[in-house]
Structure 1
Amino acid sequence: MLGRTAPSERTSMPLLADLADALASGTVEVLDLTAPLSAQTPVIQLPPQFAQTATFELEELSRYDDRGPAWYWNNFRTGEHTGTHFDAPNHWVTGQDGDDVASVPAARLVGPAVVLDFSAEVAADPDFLLEVDHIRAWESAHGPLPTGGWLLYRTGWDARSSSQEEFLNADDAGPHTPGVSPACARWLAEEAPVIGFGVETVGTDAGAAHSFDPPFPCHAALMGSGKYGLTQLQNLAQLPATGVLLIASPLPIVGGSGSPARVLALVERG
C-alpha cells in the first residue's frame, strides 16, 4: 500500500543512519587510496614493439575568459590503465568474453578488504613474490580472507610514485617490482574467496612476470576467473590488517577494459 514502509526499508534505514552518524563524528574514517592523476603520474612501459599507453594530459577549453567567461573546464586524455585504476575481466585474453568495466555489477564495487603487509620483505628484495604460504600464515594470525572482498597487498611501493624511474625500477633485465608467484596467482583466482586483488605497483603482476611460466600469471588467472584488479593504490600503511570496507569507483566505460578509479577505504576508529 502507498505510504507503508517495506520491512526491508525499516530494517536497513537504522544501519545507514548509524553509518552517516559515524562518518559525521569521525568514528568511521574515510581514507583515500587514490594516487593524484596528472602528467607526472607514472605509466607502464612495454617493449617498443607494442602499443604504449598515453600519459595523462589536460587540454584547457576555457578559464573564465573569452572562450567561456564564467567557467573553467578541460578535455583530458589518458589510458584506461593510468594511475590508480581498475582492471576488468576483458583486460586480458583469458577473460576476453568476460565483463567490460561498465558491466561490473555495482554491488561488487563495495566490499570488505584486508591488508597484507610485506613492505619489509620488499625493502630487502624489490623482486619479492607473495606465495600461498605467506597468505596462509597471515590467515592463521588474522582469520580468513573476506568472501566477496579484496586482498590488498602492501609493499611500500607507493613511496616511489612521484618518479617514473623509481616507480618502474627497471634496468637492462627489465622492471624490478614485487608481485605474486604463478602458484599464488592461480590460488587467488581459483581458490581464494576474494573477488579482487589490489597493489601499490603499476600492475598486479611482478615486474619480472614477462619471464614467468605462464607470463603475467596474475593478469591471466584473475581476469580469466572473472575477478578484478586494482593498481597504484596509496596509503595502505594507514589501514588496519582487517576491518576495512573498500569502495572502488571506475568510470563505466562501455567496452572498456578498465578505468582510472577513485578508491576509498572506510575504517572504524576508536
Structure 2
Amino acid sequence: MSALSGFAAALTGGRIEVVDLTAPLSAETPVIQLPEPFAQTARFELEELSRYDDRGPAWYWNNFRTGEHTGTHFDAPNHWVTGRDGEDVASVPPQRLIAPAAVLDFSDRAAADPDFLLEVEHVRAWEAEHGPLPEGGWLLYRTGWDARSASQEQFLNADDAGAHTPGISPDCARWLAEEAPVIGLGVETVGTDAGAAHSFDPPFPCHAALMGSGKYGLTQLQNLAQLPPTGAVLVPAPLPIVSGSGSPARVLALVDRG
C-alpha cells in the first residue's frame, strides 16, 4: 500500500481525525479595531444575488466583502513593513503550509492574566517536557481565547488603555523569528501580537519579527484544546490572492487517534 493510500484509509477508517480550527465567518465575526486615524478592516458582509427566485430560479449564490485579515486568517510576510519585499499570499509555496504542529497550552495563565506574555523560558520548559519544536513546523499558542469569539467586546477585551489580550514578549518574538525552527505562529486571538503590543519596544514585535524573517502568522484559531502537544499536522488553506497581504483561511489539523 502506498503512503497516500494508507493515509486515505486512515482518514476514512477514523484513525486520523480532522479537527477544524477555523472560526465561522459571518457578520458577527470579531475584527480588530485600530485607533484613529488608521484605516479599518471590513467586517464580513454577504450580499444575496439570487435564492431560487426570479433573479435565478434554480440557484442560490452571493457576493461577499471582507478584509484580508478578518476571521481566521493567514498573514503573509508582505503584511508588515519589515517584510515588504517578501512573499505575498499567492507566492507562499503550498508545501510550506502543511507542516507538523507543536501546541503550547498556557490557557491557565491567560485566564489569570489577560495580558500574559509568552517568554522564551516558557517555550524552553515546554521543550524539556515534550521535545524540540518541529523543524519547519508551526507553533500553536493556546490561551483559551477562542471561548470569547462570539462577542466583539469580549474578544477584544478593551478599556480606556486599549485591548487586553495575551500574546508574546518582544524577546520571544525575536527568538521565534530568528532562532526557532518553526515557519510560523498560530494564535486564538485577533492578531499574533498581544493587545498591548502597540506600547512594546518595538511595537507589534510578532508582526515585525516574523514577517521580517519571512515567516507566517495564523490568527483566530479555534479548538486547539482538541490537539495533542505534539503529533498533529496543520493544513492551512488561504486564498492565493495576488499581491495580497493575507487571506481568510480554512485551517485543519490532522490528529492520529490510532
Bin for the TM-score computed over the shorter chain:
over 0.9
Residue 10 (structure 1) aligns with: none
The structure 1 residue matched to 2:223, chosen from 223, 231, 235, is: 235
1:163 CA drift (Å): 0.0
Residue 63 (structure 1) aligns with: 51
- Aligned pairs for 1:111-126 within 5 A: 111-126=99-114
Q: How far, CA to CA, are the matches of 1:37 and 1:165 in structure 2? A: 17
Q: CA RMSD in A?
A: 0.6
Q: How far, CA to CA, are the matches of 1:172 and 1:165 in structure 2? A: 13
Aligned amino acid, residue 249 of structure 2: A
Q: How far, CA to CA, are the matches of 1:109 and 1:131 in structure 2? A: 25
**Identity fraction in percent:** 83
Q: How far, CA to CA, are the matches of 1:18 and 1:158 in structure 2? A: 33
Residue 73 (structure 2) aligns with: 85
Aligned amino acid, residue 58 of structure 1: L
Deviation digits for residues 159-204 of structure 1 (CA, Å, limit 9, x no counterpart)? 0000000000000000000000000000000000000100000000
Deviation digits for residues 111-156 of structure 1 (CA, Å, limit 9, x no counterpart)? 1001000000000000000000000000000000001110000000
Q: How far, CA to CA, are the matches of 2:10 and 2:233 in structure 1? A: 14
Deviation digits for residues 245-265 of structure 1 (CA, Å, limit 9, x no counterpart)? 000000000000000000000
| Runs of 4+ residues deviating >3 angstroms | none
The structure 2 residue matched to 1:165, chosen from 135, 149, 153, is: 153
Matched, 1:139 2:127: yes
TM-score w.r.t. the length of structure 2 is: 0.99
Q: How far, CA to CA, are the matches of 1:74 and 1:229 in structure 2? A: 29
Aligned amino acid, residue 18 of structure 1: G
3-state SS, counterpart of residue 42 of structure 2: coil
Residue 8 (structure 1) aligns with: none
1:48 CA drift (Å): 1.9
Structure 1, unmatched stretches of 5+, are: 1-12
3-state SS, counterpart of residue 80 of structure 1: coil
- Aligned pairs for 1:171-210 within 5 A: 171-210=159-198
Aligned amino acid, residue 226 of structure 2: Q
Aligned amino acid, residue 166 of structure 2: P
Q: How far, CA to CA, are the matches of 1:263 and 1:151 in structure 2? A: 14
Residue 26 (structure 2) aligns with: 38
Q: How far, CA to CA, are the matches of 2:73 and 2:183 in structure 1? A: 16
1:109 CA drift (Å): 1.4
